[in-house]
Amino acid sequence: MEVAKITSRGQITIPIDVRKKLGLKEGDKVIFIEEGDNIIFANAAKVAFRNMQEAFEGEAERLGLKDEQDVVDLVDEVRQEMWDKRNANND
């Protein structure tokens, strides 16, 4: 268990062991999540990434993506569609 003291301006120094466990470095953002009577303190980037993973869960199967080449092919297809739309007005 780590303890931090709050300054008169409401600031704290996050103990080094906690920063390491959360993967925090200078300039990173943290998030405070309310869960009942508790406040969870977390690395905001990791929470956002986890939420993104959950949101995209099952999308690869839905799109029929089985391997990395399928993803590359899909990206190429989307780029071509964007190129075609952008240049359709120039014809």
Q: Please state which of the four CATH numbers 2.40.160, 2.10.260, 1.10.10, 3.30.70 is assigned to the domain occupying 1-57.
A: 2.10.260
pTM of the model: 0.59
Secondary structure of residue 53 in the 3-state scheme = helix
Q: Domain locations in the chain?
A: 1-57, 64-91
| Residue 61: per-residue pLDDT | 87
Q: One digit per residue, pLDDT tens: the chain, 91 residues? A: 889 999 999 999 999 999 999 999 999 999 999 999 999 999 999 999 999 989 988 988 888 889 889 989 999 999 999 999 988 876 6
Annotate 3-70 with three-state secondary structure.
Answer: CCCCCCCCCCCCCHHHHHHHCCCCCCCEEEEEECCEEEEEEHHHHHHHHHHHHHCCHHHHHCCCCHHH
